[in-house]
């Protein structure tokens, strides 16, 4: 076991499954978000995706604001 500190730059990148869980979406939807540029993502030479955690959090905030605005319009 190593006592080296964690690489904080690396820990900001999530695996596909982790990002899917945060957004509660399926693999196809998450892949589409990556390809469309809705989240900052990189495709590794192995074909696996890594998604930046901060971009997931920003997308969640935007989505939450849109839901609140939609609910406000429904209540008027």
* pLDDT for the residue 74: 83
Is there a domain that residue 6 lies in? no
Number of domains, the chain: 1
Is there a domain that residue 68 lies in? yes
Mind listing the pLDDT tens digit for each residue in 32-57? Answer: 999 999 999 999 999 999 999 999 99
Is there a domain that residue 33 lies in? yes
State which residues form the domain around 68.
12-75
Taking a C-beta distance cutoff of 8 angstroms, is the pair 70, 50 a contact?
no
**Whether this model's pTM surpasses 0.75:** no
Other CB atoms within 10 A of residue 34 CB = 20
* pLDDT for the residue 2: 36
Is there a domain that residue 32 lies in? yes
Q: Which residues pair with 51 in a beta bridge?
A: 14, 41
At 20, phi and psi to the nearest 5?
Answer: -60, -40
CATH number, domain of 44, equals 1.10.1660
Is there a domain that residue 1 lies in? no
Is there a domain that residue 41 lies in? yes
CA distances from 7 to 15, 22, 38, 45, 71 (A): 16, 22, 25, 21, 41
The percent of residues above 70 in pLDDT, for the chain, comes to 86
């Amino acid at each position: 076991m190593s006592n080296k500190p964690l690489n904080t730059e690396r820990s900001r990148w999530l695996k596909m499954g982790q990002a899917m869980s945060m957004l509660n979406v399926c693999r196809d939807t998450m892949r589409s978000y990556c390809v469309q540029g809705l989240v900052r993502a990189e495709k590794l030479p192995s074909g696996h995706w890594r998604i930046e955690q901060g971009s997931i959090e920003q997308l969640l905030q935007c989505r939450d604001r849109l839901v609140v605005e939609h609910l406000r319009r429904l209540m008027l």
